[in-house]
Structure 1
């Protein structure tokens, strides 16, 4: 296959596997609430929704293994538990969320069907694609992603040119932190370690190039997909900010319906009545490709874990789709609320594993991995408890941890532990 063609198909597929429900719905409302500070919110959002995920793809390019390889330097048992948790979370939250978003925004307003019918048909189609494993990368990269990108650029481009370019006052005290935390909700760091493994296996199925050739292909694809995500996110955030005074999102509604109303308003303002149709297709395609990536990645992992059995792959895919149908009955907002404490727990660990895996070998020893991951885990606990069961004593504790009031109390301890553990290891050597 032509190398340039192969590069762009892989890049487009990677972009599409990342770009799901949250990626489309979260940025416009974030920009709307950010108002005149939309640029700083966008910078924060890019850190957790673009930079960290693309570093995750670079780590996959370096390892060219499975998700298990990300955590094995901590310990084999840790890595096994971490992998199982990640895949359970992926199947339990972001995958059903794609069906909920598709139903609420694209299907129900037109056909008024039940969530059960929508999610059943949706995951039946997902299962068909997942079971045709070898064709996933090519189909998504050649056909679905270009359609998604064209529609997005139409909405953003026409929207920016047709708006009055006026913004409201920001509702955020710390815009960059607000962007960072909202970026959690895209699940893209978790997506990087899950869909990166899908890309690795898909590439191995398609051609038998050398390790270095595959490394180059994966890394370049990551950069191109990251650039695409950056442009689309910045565009959606800025359009949300500039349309703030023109669209009534009805602030009495839940935040998920505000997101839907804002995106629908922008689409109609940019494309007229045709905007509703474009939005429905866009939501459906973006969500569908992400669900395929999540379930294929999960099935791949358990297939490898249990003797490389194709029967395990098929059974895992079916179970994941059935679970998607069940959880997909919840509305988008409910799934986001369930996700928050889970994200506060697993996201920091995922981020440090991604960063540690791209460090040079002399700085990423098992000792460094263990020290940083343990400290990250300990300092992420207050964030989880603070959301589940807030108390005065916990608030006092959090007040003594730098950045903890922003749910980022793990950052400085993890960084400090990284520096100390590297220095100690070098001194011992």
Structure 2
């Protein structure tokens, strides 16, 4: 085995797994919102958009399967957590978002004078009809689309970046957000949902390495860390470029999430470039939709003992209805859930990476993080907690819970030995 070649292939595979419409939609919107503070916000976005997904992948070198990821809290919690995780990156938010993005970035620019509601309904029905067909027939079309579309979109992004940097798009204005730009970028990175997806991607990567004979944990870490660096370079290039370019047009008010990216494409490439970019993103959304519907259908088919086809049909019908509501509406619905789910996922990733075996520590840290995150979602005043005003009220309580539970377990073991 040529290790360097395999690492390069794995790096591209990791990049393509994480790369989706969300990676294109949210960075420019962050840049528009923070204006002059784009670099500080970009650092925060990097942590949740790049750092956490890579840590999530590495966590699977420790646990090996989704069934083991949160079972140290309890088996029931692991099932509930995994189910919510798949709902969030599946039919509740991520799958309908692919349909809405297709309409707003791929179809609407082609029919600017048509009734948007009618076009949205037709687009959604056709999009998820094609999704269902591909899911049920296990077509290789999505593989072909993915292999060709990712390089095309990267080429277009490179052109947008080069032309955007070398031309005068505008001047960044003062931030319109209330709060710290770093924490704003950090929380905005939740919307990519890549850290949540990494929990599932980890299984695929580890199995792939084992299939090639890489079974040693340390060797798997070596492959993943090096490949992760390659994927991080690609994602970092996209994020930094789009956040910077978004800041350049921050004086333009009233842009929706999809309109921001399309505006950048139009300002740099003209109408033809904007439309071509929108079509590429729409096709990329199709590959994402097919993969997520298949993943969710498999999980819920096993969980509820209902046929895979019936679950896939139900997911596509539900996603068709929700996607018509619009991209920004779906994003607004997802924010409260992500405010709860992301901190819990972060602490689970870290506990697994550091190889914590103590079940009491898992339960304590996750419980405290969950309680604080729910309180934050409910807008409870948490300003008395350090870092709360920066958007991280759960960090210090989680660290305290870790310290107390870890110390308690150590003292308990010492007493048993002395006895």
Residue 289 to residue 280, structure 1, CA distance change in 2 (3 Å): same
| Local SS of the residue matching 1:272 | helix
**Structure 2 equivalent of residue 162 of structure 1:** 167
Q: What runs of 5+ residues in structure 2 fail to find an aligned partner?
A: 414-419
**Structure 2 equivalent of residue 287 of structure 1:** 285
| Local SS of the residue matching 2:192 | coil
**Structure 2 equivalent of residue 381 of structure 1:** 374
Distance 2:142 2:357 in 1: 32
Residue 408 to residue 330, structure 1, CA distance change in 2 (3 Å): same
Residue 351 to residue 312, structure 1, CA distance change in 2 (3 Å): farther
Deviates more, 1:81-90 or 1:113-122: 113-122
TM-score normalised by length of structure 2: 0.86
Distance 2:317 2:393 in 1: 37
TM-score normalised by length of structure 1: 0.84
Distance 1:240 1:342 in 2: 26
State whether residues 13 and 145 of structure 1, in contact with CA within 8 Å, keep that contact through their aligned partners in structure 2.
Answer: no
How far does residue 330 in structure 1 lie from its aligned partner after superposition? 1.0
How far does residue 70 in structure 1 lie from its aligned partner after superposition? 1.1
1:352 to 347, 354, 362: 347
**Structure 1 equivalent of residue 394 of structure 2:** 410
**Structure 2 equivalent of residue 231 of structure 1:** 237
How far does residue 2 in structure 1 lie from its aligned partner after superposition? 6.5
How far does residue 7 in structure 1 lie from its aligned partner after superposition? 4.2
| Local SS of the residue matching 1:196 | helix
How far does residue 216 in structure 1 lie from its aligned partner after superposition? 4.7
How far does residue 96 in structure 1 lie from its aligned partner after superposition? 0.4
Distance 2:315 2:204 in 1: 16
How far does residue 277 in structure 1 lie from its aligned partner after superposition? 2.1
How far does residue 238 in structure 1 lie from its aligned partner after superposition? 0.6
1:209 to 207, 213, 230: 213
How far does residue 164 in structure 1 lie from its aligned partner after superposition? 5.8
Distance 2:214 2:147 in 1: 24
How far does residue 32 in structure 1 lie from its aligned partner after superposition? 1.9
Residue 146 to residue 164, structure 1, CA distance change in 2 (3 Å): closer
How far does residue 417 in structure 1 lie from its aligned partner after superposition? 1.7
Aligned length: 404
Render the CA deviation track for 1:241-295: whole Å, top value 9, x for unaligned: 12334xx3x43xxxxx433333222112221232212321242144233323322
State whether residues 105 and 279 of structure 2, in contact with CA within 8 Å, keep that contact through their aligned partners in structure 1.
Answer: no
Aligned residues: CA RMSD: 2.9
Residues 1:184 and 2:186 are matched in the alignment: no
Distance 1:109 1:69 in 2: 45
Distance 2:105 2:144 in 1: 25
